Amino acid sequence: MRTYAGHSSPAESNALYRRNLAKGQTGLSIAFDLPTQTGYDPDSVMARGEVGKVGVPVTHIGDMRRLFDGIPLDEMNTSMTINATAMWLLALYVTAAEEQGADVSALQGTTQNDIIKEYLSRGTYVFPPGPSLRLITDMISYTVNNIPKWNPINICSYHLQEAGATPVQEIAYAICTAIAVLDSVRDSGQVPAERFGEVVGRISFFVNAGVRFVEEMCKMRAFVELWDDLTRERYGVTDAAQRRFRYGVQVNSLGLTEAQPENNVQRIVLEMLAVTLSKDARARAVQLPAWNEAMGLPRPWDQQWSLRMQQVLAYESDLLEYDDIFAGSHVIEAKVNELVVESRAEIQRVLDMGGAVAAVETGYMKGQMVGSHAERRARVEAGDLVIVGVNAFTTTEPNPLLADIDNAIQTVDPEVEAIAIADLQVWRSGRDSARVDAAIAQLRVDALSDVNLIAATLECARAGVTTGEWSEILREVFGEYRAPTGVSGVIATAEPSESLRAVRESVRTTGEALGRNLRFLVGKPGLDGHSNGAEQIAVRARDAGFEVIYQGIRLTPEQIVAAAVAEDVHVVGISILSGSHLELLPAIIDGLRAAGLSDVPVVVGGIIPDVDAESLMARGVAAVFTPKDYDATAVMAKVLNVVRTANGLAPL
Reported as a single tens digit per residue, the pLDDT across 1-34 is 666 778 889 999 999 999 988 988 878 989 999 9
pLDDT reported for residue 123: 87
Q: What is the pLDDT of residues 53-89, one digit of tens each?
A: 889 999 999 999 999 999 999 999 999 999 999 999 9
What pLDDT, in 10s, does the model give residues 183-211? 999 999 999 999 999 999 999 999 999 89
User: Do residues 402 and 547 share a domain?
Assistant: no
pLDDT more than 70, % of the chain: 97
> Averaged over 416-439, what is the pLDDT?
96
Looking at the fold, whether 236 and 339 belong to one and the same domain comes out as yes
Tens digits of per-residue pLDDT, 557-573? 999 999 999 999 999 99
Same domain membership, residue 402 and residue 508: no
What is the mean pLDDT of the segment spanning 226-231? 98
Average pLDDT over residues 92-112: 96
Residue 550 has pLDDT above 80, yes or no: yes
Are 207 and 169 spatial neighbours (Cβ–Cβ below 8 Å)? no
Any domain includes 144:
yes
Quick check: 489 pLDDT over 70? no
Identified catalytic residue from 530, 543, 570, 581: 530
Under 8 Å between Cβ of 632 and 492:
yes
Q: Is residue 577 part of a domain?
A: yes
> What per-residue confidence (pLDDT) applies to 635?
96
CATH number for 194: 3.20.20.240
Q: Is residue 247 annotated as a catalytic residue, yes or no?
A: no
CB 299 within 8 A of CB 410: yes
3-state secondary structure at position 519 = strand
> Does residue 528 carry a catalytic annotation?
yes
**Of 43, 42, 20, the residue nearest 32 (C-alpha):** 42
Q: Write the burial class of residue 200 (CB in 10 Å: 0-12 exposed, 13-18 middle, 19+ buried).
A: buried
Are 382 and 391 contacting, i.e. CB atoms less than 8 angstroms apart? no
**Is position 467 within any domain?**
no
Pairing of strands 571-576, 547-550: unpaired
Backbone angles phi, psi at 29, to 5 degrees: -125, 110
Determine the 3-state secondary structure of 287 from DSSP. Answer: strand
Q: Which of 346, 374, 407 is the last residue of a domain?
A: 407
* Choice among 146-160, 239-253, 512-526 with the minimum mean pLDDT: 239-253
**What is the mean predicted confidence (pLDDT) over 525-545?**
89
The answer to whether residues 290 and 158 belong to one domain is yes
Q: Are residues 403 and 534 in the same domain?
A: no
Q: Do 246 and 347 belong to one domain?
A: yes
Amino acid letter, 491: I
**pLDDT at residue 494 tops 60:** no
Domain presence at residue 492: no
pLDDT score recorded for residue 2 = 66
CB burial class (10 A; 0-12, 13-18, 19+) of residue 634?
middle
Asked whether residue 407 carries a pLDDT value surpassing 80, the answer given is no
Of 17, 93, 142, 158, catalytic? 158
Catalytic choice (524, 543, 581, 612) = 524
CB 246 within 8 A of CB 204: yes
Q: Same structural domain for residues 258 and 131? A: yes
Q: Is residue 597 part of a domain?
A: yes
Please check whether residues 189 and 324 belong to one and the same domain. yes
Over the stretch 118-170, which tens digit does the pLDDT of each residue have?
Answer: 999 888 999 999 999 999 999 999 999 999 999 999 999 999 998 889 999 99
Q: Which of 4, 173, 235, 481 is catalytic?
A: 4
Total tally of structural domains belonging to the chain: 2
Between CA 153 and CA 156 the distance in angstroms is 9
pTM: 0.88
Tell me the C-alpha distance between 394 and 625, whole Å. 18
Domain membership flag for residue 479: no
What span, in angstroms and rounded, lies between the C-alpha atoms of 148 and 431?
Answer: 32
Q: Is there a catalytic annotation at residue 628?
A: no
Region for residue 289 given its phi and psi (left: phi exceeds 0; alpha: psi -120 to 50; beta: otherwise): beta
Q: Does residue 455 belong to any structural domain of this protein?
A: no
Domain of residue 590: give its range.
498-646
- The CATH number that applies at residue 570 is 3.40.50.280
403 lies in the same domain as 515: no
Which residue is catalytic, options 528, 543, 570, 581? Answer: 528
Measure Cα distances from 35 to 41, 59, 94, 163, 171 in Å.
6, 9, 21, 22, 30
Count of CB atoms situated within 10 Å of the CB of 75: 9
pLDDT band for 552, please (50, 70, 90 cuts).
Answer: confident
Cβ 526 vs Cβ 580: under 8 Å: yes
Confidence of residue 580 (pLDDT cuts 50, 70, 90): confident
For the chain, the C-alpha Rg in angstroms (whole number) is: 24
Considering the domain architecture, whether residues 34 and 164 belong to the same structural domain is answered as: yes
Among the listed residues 7, 53, 60, 159, the single catalytic one is: 159
The reply to whether 4 belongs to the active site is: yes
Contact 568, 596 (CB under 8 A): no
Active site residue 524: yes
Count of all residues that appear for the chain in the document: 652
Residue 443 to residue 437: CA distance in whole angstroms: 10
In a domain, 578, yes or no: yes
Residue 515 shares a structural domain with residue 620: yes
As a whole-number percent, the residues of the chain with pLDDT over 90 amount to: 76
* Residue of higher predicted confidence among 577 and 319: 319
Q: Are residues 402 and 543 in the same domain?
A: no
233 burial type by CB count under 10 A (0-12 exposed, 13-18 middle, 19+ buried): exposed
Burial of 236 (0-12, 13-18, 19+ CB in 10 A): exposed
Average of pLDDT values for 333-354? 98
Q: Is 40 a catalytic residue?
A: no
